[in-house]
Amino acid sequence: MKRPSAESIRKAFAEHLTVGVDGYEQTVWDILHWTGICDVLLFLEDHVHVGESARANVDYEHMSLHNLEDSIKQMGEMA
């Protein structure tokens, strides 16, 4: 699987989530594709932002999980 650049991945996740993915760009991109956004959020809460709530930004809270995943993928692959 070809991944977008780390910068593109960071921007896509930063646009959609309340926490950053700096240093874990490839990991979260792979998790997103392998198991989905729920596991990305769990990974971020458990390993990167311990004690913080990883969730969708206010502008994206209305989206279904599937649509949120698709939006992140689309934005990440555009650059």
Contact 68, 55 (CB under 8 A): no
Model confidence pLDDT, tens digit, residues 48-65 = 888 889 999 999 999 999
Residue 56 phi, psi dihedral angles, 5° rounding: -70, 140
Cα dihedral 60, 64, 65, 71, rounded to 10, equals: -50
pTM of the model: 0.90
Model confidence pLDDT, tens digit, residues 3-49 = 999 999 999 999 999 999 999 999 999 999 999 999 999 999 999 88
Half-sphere exposure of 49 (CA within 13 A, CB side): 17
Give the amino acid at 26: Q
